[in-house]
Amino acid sequence: MEQVTAIIPNWNRAGMLGRALDSLRRQTAPCARVLVVDNGSTDSSRAVAAAAGAEVLSLPSNLGFAGAVNRGVEAALTPWVWILNNDVELHPRCLESLLEAASAWNAAFAAPRVRQLANPSRIDASYDLLARSGCSWRAGCGFPDGPLFAEARLIQFAPMTAAVIRREIFMQSGPLDESFGSYLEDIEFFLRASLSGFAGVYAPAAIVYHHGSATVGAWSGTMVELLARNQVLLAAKHFPAAWWWRVLAGQLLWGALATRRGRLAAWLRGKWRGLRDAPRARRSFPRAPRETLEPLLISCEREIQRLQQSTRPEPYWRFYFAVAR
């Protein structure tokens, strides 16, 4: 088996971190190193990690998920890194299954089948898909688990909930963009990796159970503001100007969802911050040619449509594809 360093970004989640580390100890394919990157926690997180035998990299302040991952990857010396949320619990064969799938498919990264911890009959995550609106979908999130998510397949985007990644991707494509902080930083990273020729595999035999939104909360004001900002930054950094109407339509629709959740103010703050920071994002990375980028995202949109049509389509995607058509 390949050598792997497990990297767990953490901020003030000692209880969940302890359970994640317990499940790591039970892996049939043990990690060469377990590294908890602590974002300046004020609870007992560092003591919990040390008691579990993990190495602790203590950061002086909260650098966000992207900053913590980058510091962990810099400290890792193994060919593979396993990026883990602090609120996951792992099936004992999870890592073994991920590495087997990566080897069988000659993939540079592998994503597990993630089930909801509170309701394991439903999918929390499988692989990510990105639309030309700048909005993404975690494929199957909330769907019943079943045959639709039981087949391995090549993928371009992997949620960093529990993804195993060749460290060389970070060396060749660059680290996570720390200006994103949290949310969509993994989408943006894998978009650059895909444009550099790296591909991954979805490995449904690798099972993870995920609490979800443990740090800032589902549909919290913080989550909505960060997502709203980062959607703009992603589009500004990578998308051609000709897609402006898709971006506008898709993000206004997402704003309607946020408004229904009582988060209009957070959405507006995020969009204002995104528009303010967009010129810097546009200058930070040379855009890929449209003829390279567009087929990748068209294939994502087709996959979103295929999966959505397997059940009752979610309103966002139903309206987005009606407008985008």
Here the CATH number for the domain that contains residue 77 is 3.90.550.60
- Kindly state whether residues 139 and 235 are assigned to the same domain: no
Those residues whose C-beta lies under 8 Å from the C-beta of residue 285, and which sit 6 or more positions away, are 192, 237, 238
Residue 279 lies in a domain: yes
- Kindly state whether residues 178 and 52 are assigned to the same domain: yes
Give CA torsion, residues 42, 44, 47, 53, to 10 deg. Answer: -110
Q: What pLDDT sits at residue 323? A: 85
- Kindly state whether residues 191 and 225 are assigned to the same domain: no
Residue 195 lies in a domain: yes
- Kindly state whether residues 128 and 29 are assigned to the same domain: yes
Q: What pLDDT sits at residue 284? A: 86
Residue 215 lies in a domain: no
- Kindly state whether residues 156 and 244 are assigned to the same domain: no
Residue 216 lies in a domain: no
Those residues whose C-beta lies under 8 Å from the C-beta of residue 153, and which sit 6 or more positions away, are 127, 201, 202
- Kindly state whether residues 311 and 282 are assigned to the same domain: yes
Q: What pLDDT sits at residue 217? A: 53
- Kindly state whether residues 10 and 112 are assigned to the same domain: yes
Domain termination site, one of 210, 233, 258: 210
Q: What pLDDT sits at residue 193? A: 97
- Kindly state whether residues 188 and 227 are assigned to the same domain: no
Residue range(s) defining the domain that contains residue 47: 4-210
Residue 181 lies in a domain: yes
Q: What pLDDT sits at residue 310? A: 87
Q: Could you report the average pLDDT of every consecutive run of 10 residues in the chain (325 residues)? A: 92 93 96 96 94 94 93 96 97 98 98 96 96 95 94 97 97 94 93 96 98 67 95 96 93 95 96 96 89 95 93 88 84
- Kindly state whether residues 265 and 311 are assigned to the same domain: yes
Domain termination site, one of 177, 210, 243: 210
The C-alpha atoms of residue 94 and residue 112 are separated, in whole angstroms, by: 8
Residue 87 lies in a domain: yes
- Kindly state whether residues 30 and 171 are assigned to the same domain: yes
- Name the domain count of the chain: 2
Q: What pLDDT sits at residue 228? A: 96
| Reported pTM | 0.94
- Kindly state whether residues 80 and 166 are assigned to the same domain: yes
Q: What pLDDT sits at residue 213? A: 60
Q: What pLDDT sits at residue 1? A: 64
- Kindly state whether residues 101 and 18 are assigned to the same domain: yes
The C-alpha atoms of residue 180 and residue 310 are separated, in whole angstroms, by: 33
